[in-house]
Amino acid sequence: MLTFLDVMERATAGPISTEEDFNLKVLVPNVRKIVKQFDIRYDAANPVTTDDALARRLFDAAVEFIAQTGLYCTGTNRIIRVERDEILRAAQEISGGGTFGEGKDRRTFQPRRPDDATPPWCHVGTGIVASSEEIAMAQVEGYGSIRQASSVSIPAFGRVRGMPVLGGSPLEIYASAASVQAARKALWKAGRPGLPILNLISSATTATAMIAATHPAFGLRASDGWLIDFIAEMKVNYETLNRLAFILITGGNVGSTCLPILGGYGGGAPGTALIMTAYHLLGMLLFQGSYQLTGPVHFKHSCSTTRDGLWIFSVVGRATSLRTRYPAIALGYGAAGPCTKMYFYEAAAVNLCAVSSGFAGVQTVHPAKAIITDGVTPLEAEFNVAMAYAATKVQATRANELVNQLLAKYETEIERAPEGKRYQECFDVATRKPSEEYVRLYEQVKEELRGMRLEIGD
Amino acid sequence: MLNFLDIYERALQGPIMTEQDFDLKVFMPALKQVTKQYGIQYDKENPVPSNDADADNLFRAAVDFLSRCGIYCQNTNRVMQFTQAEILQAVNEATGRCFAGEGDDARVFGMRKPDDPKVPWLHVGSGIVCTTEEMFTNLVEGYGSIAEASSISICALDTLRGIPVMAGSPAEIYAAIRGIKIGREALRRAGRPGLPIMNLISTSASAVTTIAASAAQFGLRPTDGWLVGAISEMKIDFGAMNKIAYLLNWGANVGAETSPILGGYAGGPASTAVVSTAYILMGLLVHKGKYQLTFPIHFRYGCSSPRDVLWVVAASCQAASRNIPMPVIWLGYMAAGPCTKMYFYEAAAYLLTATTSGAPSVQTPHPAKAVKIDGITPMEARFGVAMGTAAAKLNRQQANELVRQLLAKYESQIETAPTGSRYQECFNATTGKPGDEYVRLYDEVTNELAQMGLEIGD
């Protein structure tokens, strides 16, 4: 098995190249060549693919793509080379995901297969910025109150004592430590002190702040999960590698993370699916991850709920769940925001796609492209959990029909999707309860989905 | 009292200017005005002055200077300004105590006054780069074996598994953690597991590494000491402020590290003494330091043993020890290296100057300007301890006379000083014992000093 120091050795001794040369002479030509060579084709009519042969070809294509492309380290301007055998051996040897949480909330994250009736790991919440500690705690308490929640994401703090939290500044350290402490307190209030936090550390944009706030004095445990990002596309930097080094040395759970850009260097849906599959393998091999957090983001629309984005979810979920036991959480970005019907249609589509395609976990689809401060509530989290469970009762073929029906409801609205409401506009901050208007809307949508023969619980 | 968030707020809101404007239009004019206004004058004939009124006058000048100049934050390009009342409040509220070490070696690092017979806190060793782990272990074990040692500095590693340790890279994180483990293990071998390490983290040039290697599982404790550097002159950056934010959040000992440069922006000895004293105020006010490490050096020679630098040390040490309750470690850089007579003359001069001027602590004077790899041995540490103890029996007038005699022995050689031997050239790397040649030289020097009236113990 490759150790982290082996990776570092390759990052300091691999072939040297400018970043532009890597992009234009290695990455882009290899994507085009391999997509063609392995006949990876996008099928717009079927956003949820059921084609196992295509999924298997995509996996093989990703192995070939990694072997030919490598991973570019911007800290050394060198390419970290990876051999085919190393990838395949890692895929064979991995037995499952990490063990997370404490006490009654301690669980091992297990892989799933396409059309698997096992409920997925429900990762609840988002790292969307909260404007105050009070709102952050209200959100997290709400997440912790969802019985089926397997783990949570906690909000980022945008300000401390009225001062903006600048990346790399000392205030980021304060904000990161405070966000962790507030979340732990909220989970304790929800009666779920052992529930793991898997988006560490949402308030930290730098390795310095992430590592600082990991000090045990602030409440984190090795059974939580730290997100380590690839840089789009096929790159890492020292910030990434420093985080990784620290978490591996301290024995924490690494969550390898990637959000490949549909319409960026990967090109269209087939190339982006190729890169997303490659990230899955690299997360398992180079990052030694305990879980993968992944989802495509559309270059133009900044969301994952476009027809081609959903197809990428389904084909990558199928490819990686058929050929590895490295569990991945599907993360979708919705175009519409909280307290809108469109958000629920989008979230339902992502859950149907991901769950039926074998994703081991699903996260609350992030409302309004995750860019509105306070723009998420526990009701979206509750809906996603209910929808994920409902999706386990649906085979991929049926999911495909349902997703097509849902797309018909929102696809044309993506460009002008409503931003929806902020937490304090549709929830009572003091009582933590949703407004009557939001409850009414929520019930209407659920009835509408039940009318599509989706078994959504209360 | 201003807390650290107040300090940070000033870094965001203070007057904005370029660094060059700060140097040329704020720092230098303010320093010239204050030096003239308070009549601070260098006395070449008396490298160790003994006028208490002059010392108190220098303190007042430093307060005035800091209030006029402020501290420049390189990341926000703003000047953090402080009123004289705020500076004096920090002085009045300072305890002058730092709790360091554990078990048998838990002690209070407190204050001394000029001509104080109390033996200073004896800080032993250096952070000079070491090429092998075996040598590292021998050095630290050697430091720990000195019974009088109150705390130690540990070496820095420059490679790890053949990979060069680049600042800010993951290799630096691995090397820093390794260095701490070796240091602690060597102290256990010496029977001093509780001895505090107070130059954390020597193998770390970046904040991210300092923070990563400080995780409790690697062996550090809040009763060790972390050095956080100011930038010459009167500047700070987010790297340093991030370290402070992190350390203050879990109650670890922050050590403000400062190095006024005689002949640089600070000008000649009189004005450098003002800056040197102002740095101690900065350590209290900005760093929130529990202790300080300061080492005035000469711009041209890169050492602290020239006559004018000794005067700066004496003057600012007296001003600080009489007026600022901050436990300061006074460190000198010597021109000559290990296993040379000149090193011992310089070290004796420096230690006499600092100790009789009220230095709360003195550190092993660093051989060969601290730039020679493997260029230190426990013999220099042993001499530093013996000399610091002997000097506490003298007053400033006696020290002044002895320092003049010592300067006569080495002053003319500073520019052409011998760099001396490396550890492996004058010590047995396996047994950790000094070579016969070095033992002979050491005995010769101590006999020579005894003839000057300096009784140095064994």
Report which DSSP code applies to A26.
Answer: I
Residue B286 sits at φ, ψ, to 5 deg, of -95, -50
Quick check: A168 and B242 CB within 8 A? yes
Question: Given this model, what pLDDT does residue B202 score?
Answer: 86
Is the pLDDT at A415 greater than 70? The verdict is: yes
Residues of B in contact with A242 (CB under 8 A): 168-170, 173, 208-209, 212
Q: Is the four-CA dihedral A367, A370, A372, A377 of positive or negative sign?
A: positive
Alpha carbon distances (Å) from B130 to A269, B139, B157, B202: 53, 9, 6, 11
- Chain A: nearest CA to B99, how far in angstroms? 20
Residue A254 sits at φ, ψ, to 5 deg, of -90, 130
Q: Is the Cβ of A211 closer than 8 Å to some Cβ of chain B? A: yes
Number of C-beta neighbours around residue A15 at 10 A: 14
Residues of B in contact with A163 (CB under 8 A): 5, 8-9, 12
Residues of A in contact with B160 (CB under 8 A): 5
Quick check: A245 and B170 CB within 8 A? yes
Residue A132 sits at φ, ψ, to 5 deg, of -145, 160
Q: CATH topology for B98-451?
A: TIM Barrel (3.20.20)
Digit-coded pLDDT (tens) for A13-42: 999 999 999 999 999 999 999 999 999 999
3-state secondary structure of A153: strand
Q: Is the Cβ of A168 closer than 8 Å to some Cβ of chain B? A: yes
Termini Cα distance of chain B: 46
Average pLDDT over residues A399-411: 98
Average pLDDT over residues B357-380: 97
Quick check: A75 and B171 CB within 8 A? no
At A407, which helix (H) or strand (E)?
Answer: helix A396-410
Average pLDDT over residues B40-64: 98
Rounded Cα distance between A154 and A132, Å, is 13
Q: CATH topology for A118-227+243-251+290-450?
A: TIM Barrel (3.20.20)
Quick check: B244 and A170 CB within 8 A? yes
Whether the bond between A201 and the residue before it is cis, its omega within 30 degrees of 0, is yes
Q: Minimal Cα distance from A240: which residue of B?
A: B170
Number of C-beta neighbours around residue B161 at 10 A: 12
Quick check: B242 and A9 CB within 8 A? no
Quick check: B170 and A242 CB within 8 A? yes
Strand partners, A251: none
Quick check: B249 and A218 CB within 8 A? yes
Is the pLDDT at A74 greater than 90? The verdict is: yes
**Helix, strand, coil percentages in chain B from 3-state DSSP, rounded to 5:** 50, 15, 40
Helix axes B269-285, B52-69, angle to 10 degrees: 70
Nearest by CB to B12, from A163, A217, A246: name it: A163
**Residues across chain B:** 458
Average pLDDT over residues A64-92: 97
Rounded Cα distance between B366 and B376, Å, is 8
Average pLDDT over residues A268-291: 98
Is the pLDDT at B213 greater than 80? The verdict is: yes
- Where does the pLDDT of residue B393 fall: very low under 50, low under 70, confident under 90, or very high at 90 and above? very high
Domains of chain A by residue range:
1-99+228-242+252-289, 118-227+243-251+290-450
Q: For the whole model, what pTM was predicted? A: 0.90
Interface test with A, best of B208, B228, B286 (most A CBs within 10 A): B208
Give B362: exposed, middle or buried? Use CB within 10 Å, 0-12, 13-18, 19+.
buried
Average pLDDT over residues B72-82: 98
Over pLDDT 70: what percentage of chain B?
A: 100
Residue A180 sits at φ, ψ, to 5 deg, of -65, -45
| Nearest 10 degrees: Cα torsion A284, A289, A293, A295 | -20
Residues of B in contact with A177 (CB under 8 A): 249
Six-digit token string for B9:
């707020």
Quick check: B163 and A241 CB within 8 A? no
Nearest by CB to B217, from A4, A217, A250: name it: A250
Report which DSSP code applies to A68.
Answer: H
Q: Minimal Cα distance from B249: which residue of A?
A: A174
Is the pLDDT at B402 greater than 70? The verdict is: yes
- Chain A: nearest CA to B18, how far in angstroms? 19
Cβ contacts of residue A23 below 8 Å, gap of 6+?
A265
Is the pLDDT at B163 greater than 90? The verdict is: no
Amino acid at A424: Q
Residue of B340, B385, B339 whose CA lies nearest to B363: B385
Quick check: B173 and A169 CB within 8 A? no
Quick check: A169 and B208 CB within 8 A? no
Cβ contacts of residue B284 below 8 Å, gap of 6+?
B90, B91, B94, B256, B324, B326
Digit-coded pLDDT (tens) for A133-161: 999 999 999 999 999 999 999 999 999 98
Rounded Cα distance between B210 and B201, Å, is 6
Digit-coded pLDDT (tens) for B215-256: 988 999 999 999 999 999 999 999 999 999 999 999 999 999
Rounded Cα distance between B366 and B369, Å, is 6
Residues of B in contact with A216 (CB under 8 A): 215-216
Strand partners, A231: A235
Question: Given this model, what pLDDT does residue B458 score?
Answer: 62
Rounded Cα distance between A308 and A273, Å, is 10
- Chain B: nearest CA to A258, how far in angstroms? 21
Q: Is the Cβ of A44 closer than 8 Å to some Cβ of chain B? A: no
Q: Concatenate the DSSP letters of all residues of A322-367 into one string.
A: HH----EEE--B-SS-TT-HHHHHHHHHHHHHHHHTT-SEEEPPBG
Average pLDDT over residues A319-346: 98
Digit-coded pLDDT (tens) for B295-327: 999 999 999 999 999 999 999 999 999 999 999
Alpha carbon distances (Å) from A295 to A259, B76, B310: 5, 36, 64
At A160, which helix (H) or strand (E)?
Answer: strand A159-160
